[in-house]
Every structure is written in structure tokens, then in C-alpha cells.
A = this chain, B = another copy of it.
């Protein structure tokens, strides 16, 4: 047997005890948002550090202004092995509403369903079950030999509250945490049979503009006609931001946007995904946006421009015959590929200024600008992870995008200069943040096996 095969067999034979360890972690009520549970967060961090020490990691619990971090390090069996940083979070959402739980939320229960067995309990999927798949993979290697890679583990306890301590912690421990590649386990499979790797996260530019005309609200009878109306001016600008085919009209906006590789486009086309059904979930049915682009393509790999909010003039009940002195709107631009967030913001501001009548002026506020993250499709690490997942699941992993941002991935890129492989085994129906959260037993078991395969694959020479 190869070292990998030995480790996989160990994962199989460890499954019962692994479930016991997950149950022990689930039992710790590490709710980060409620200060009453700060001590439970501390306990969870210490439990994880102890666990990792038992596997030969040099592990410590590090205090922050909020909940502590766990940092653990272990060397591969050989020198020159790749170095990976694995990230997960041990904090969980509150279990409320309690009366909707069928079993106590902090007592993990194994339950049989028509599609297999599942582990029910708060945090089983998000993210205790997911991070334990990686820990169990490490255990299997240590109990049968050596780790294939140098491994640093970072567990935080504030993910559910927006990771307030993380940026400062990364900045302060840059050298300690820097690795060749980051692994993040906080994502989902495509479906219960098909693994997924998230390789694209859209970037985000947030701009607000306030357009001012007269120095006060005017009476629409006295001034209606000759006085400029900032709501009209703003509406014209918003109307101009897209052409009839739904493309954004900002000059230079599509610089750095490339078409999908044919292989990926083909993979997405074949996915059993209905754009119509996706929209029907929220009361819509007709895809808007760029003509000729699929819903998946628009969400994962196309840039957008949206108004997030608009306000101006009288907005109370009834009517008020006023010409507003000002109108403002907030815009979000989702970026992909190599679009430059600074250039997009600058182009937007120039676009607005070019459309201001002489009597209006605009004030701009930036609420953030970050570029897209895209793992190159030909990245060797990505290819190795794809191979490993294909071995385990006997199906190709779908390379998915994510419309939203995952801040930790941006921070790894920006502050530590690392790419990230986002691989997780959650399912969309895991009810994370809701009562009766569950994690499939198959996700837990085959997830650990997948990590073992990925670590071995990354270490191949």
C-alpha cells in the first residue's frame, strides 16, 4: 500500500472515533456573537489546540481583542515539501429559535435519511464538521506515518461576526502564516455527488454619489420647470450606465475581463442548473442583465453595476410638492478577472461628472474597492486538487465561481501573497445558520479522504 492508501484506510477505520471527536467539539457552545459565550469560544480554541498537539503539531491559542485564534504547525516527513495554510473557524451562530430544533442543538446526533446518514447539530456543517475533515486527514497520516506537506493551521473564532480581529492578526503574523498555498474549507459541493472547487470570487467597488442642485428644497409650483432637479439628473446617469444589451457603459469597464476557457464554459453549460428556477426562488423568473449570457456566467464570471440604494426629496406618506435640493445613490460594481478597482471607481466618477449640468455638483464617497480573485485555470495546484477529487468522487469537480466576496481569501492574496484553493463538502441544504443544521456523514467521511488525497497530490514530485 502507498502512504496515501494507508492513510485512507485509517480514515475509514477511525470514522467512529472521528464522530466522537466532532461531537465533543459541537458540544462546546462557541457562539461568537454573544459575549456570554466568550468562555466557550476560549474552550473550543483550547480543545482544538490540544487535539492538534496530540497529532504532533506545535499549537497555541493566541489572544486577540475578541475571540482567540488557534495557530498550529507541523512539518512534512521530507524536506522541500510544499507548505499549505489551512483556514477554518470554530465559532458558530446562535441556535435560536430553539423550539424549532428536533434534537438539542449542541448534542450531535447521527440520523438516517432517505439519502444517507447525516450529523445534526449546530456547527456540524458550518464550520466544525468541515474543519474536522482536514484534522482527521492529518490524523490519519500521523497515525500511519508522516504528513505529506508542511502544514500551518489557522482557526479563528470570529467568522460569524465579520472577522474583526483577523486583518490585524494577519498583518502581525505575516511571516509565520505565509505559505505556498492556502486551503479554505468554508464552501459547498455542487451537489451530493459532485465536488466543487471555487476558483473565482468577484471583486467589489462601492461608490456613493450625492448630487446637489439648489441650496434648499424648492416649491415645485414656484420653481418647477426652470430649476434643475437632481433626481432627474441622477436618474439620467443611472439610465446611461447600461446599454440596451445590458452591458455597462463606463469607458474601459471591460478591460481585464476575459472570456471563459472553452473547457469551463462547456462544463457550466452541462451543469444541471436552471437559471429560471434560481430566480423563481426569489419571486423572479426572467433573467435580466447581459443578453446572451447564462445566469451562472453572469453571477460567477461577469462584472456588474448595480444601484444598492437611492434617496432624494420627500419620501414620507402622501405628497409634498417639492423639488429636491439633492439626490444620492449607492452603487456596487462586481468585478472579475483583472479589472482594476481603482480604474473602475475613477471611470465611474468621470462618467457622473461628464453628465452633470452646470448648476449641479457631485460629492463622491468610496466605501471600498477590491479586485476579483481568480485562480488561474492552468494553476498546477488546481490541477492536482482536481485529480485528487476525481479519484475520490469518481466525478469531475465543478470549477465554480462565487458572486460574492470571501474576505479571508482576499486578505491571503493581499497581505500574504498567497492563492487559495476553496474546497468544501457542505451541501446547499445543510441549513447552516438555521435550526437542525446538519452535515452529511458522506461529506464528513469522504471529505477527510478528499483532503488526504489533495495533500498527497500537492506533495507529488
Contacts and interface: CB of A to CB of B under 8 A. Distances in A.
Contacts of A202: 221
Contacts of A215: 282-283
A306 B224 contact: yes
Q: Counting chain B CB atoms within 10 Å of each CB, which of A206, A224, A229 scores highest?
A: A224
Interface string A333-357: 0100000000000000000000001
Nearest to A234: B235
A188 interface: no
Contacts of A437: none
A332 interface: yes
B299 A308 contact: no
B319 A220 contact: no
- For this chain, the copies found in one complex come to 2
A261 interface: no
Given A282-B214, A308-B319, A288 B229 contact: yes
A233 to B, nearest CB: 9
Interface string A308-343: 111111110011111110011110101000000000
Interface stretch (A18-26, A68-76, A401-409, A444-452): A401-409
Contact of A324 (B227, B295, B299, B309): B309
B283 A222 contact: no
A414 interface: no
A216 interface: yes
A323 B358 CA distance: 31
A208 B405 CA distance: 36
A242 B311 CA distance: 20
Q: Counting chain B CB atoms within 10 Å of each CB, which of A206, A283, A327 scores highest?
A: A283
A284 interface: yes
A62 interface: no
Nearest to A228: B288
Contact of A308 (B216, B324, B334): B324
A224 B319 CA distance: 32
Nearest to A215: B283
Nearest to A221: B404
A226 B289 contact: yes
Contacts of A220: 304, 306, 308, 332, 334
How would you classify the secondary structure of chain A's contact residues: helix, strand, loop or mixed? Answer: mixed
A442 interface: no
A311 B302 contact: no
A432 B176 CA distance: 74
**Chain A interface residue bracket vs B:** 35 or more
Given A214-B284, A227-B284, A242 B232 contact: yes
A116 interface: no
A379 B299 CA distance: 67
Contacts of A240: 239
A419 interface: no
A238 interface: yes
A217 to B, nearest CB: 9
Given A307-B229, A313-B309, A319 B206 contact: yes
A380 B98 CA distance: 81
Nearest to A231: B307
A34 B320 CA distance: 23
B315 A311 contact: yes
Given A309-B315, A332-B319, A299 B222 contact: yes
A298 interface: yes
A206 B229 CA distance: 17
Nearest 8 A-B pairs (CB), nearest first?
A221-B404, A215-B283, A225-B298, A309-B313, A235-B238, A239-B239, A319-B367, A309-B314
Given A227-B282, A308-B319, 5 more contacts: A226-B288, A228-B288, A306-B323, A308-B324, A319-B368
24 contacts: A204-B221, A221-B402, A222-B403, A222-B404, A225-B293, A225-B298, A225-B302, A226-B275, A226-B279, A226-B287, A228-B288, A235-B307, A236-B238, A239-B239, A239-B240, A288-B357, A308-B322, A308-B323, A309-B315, A309-B324, A310-B311, A315-B328, A319-B367, A321-B332
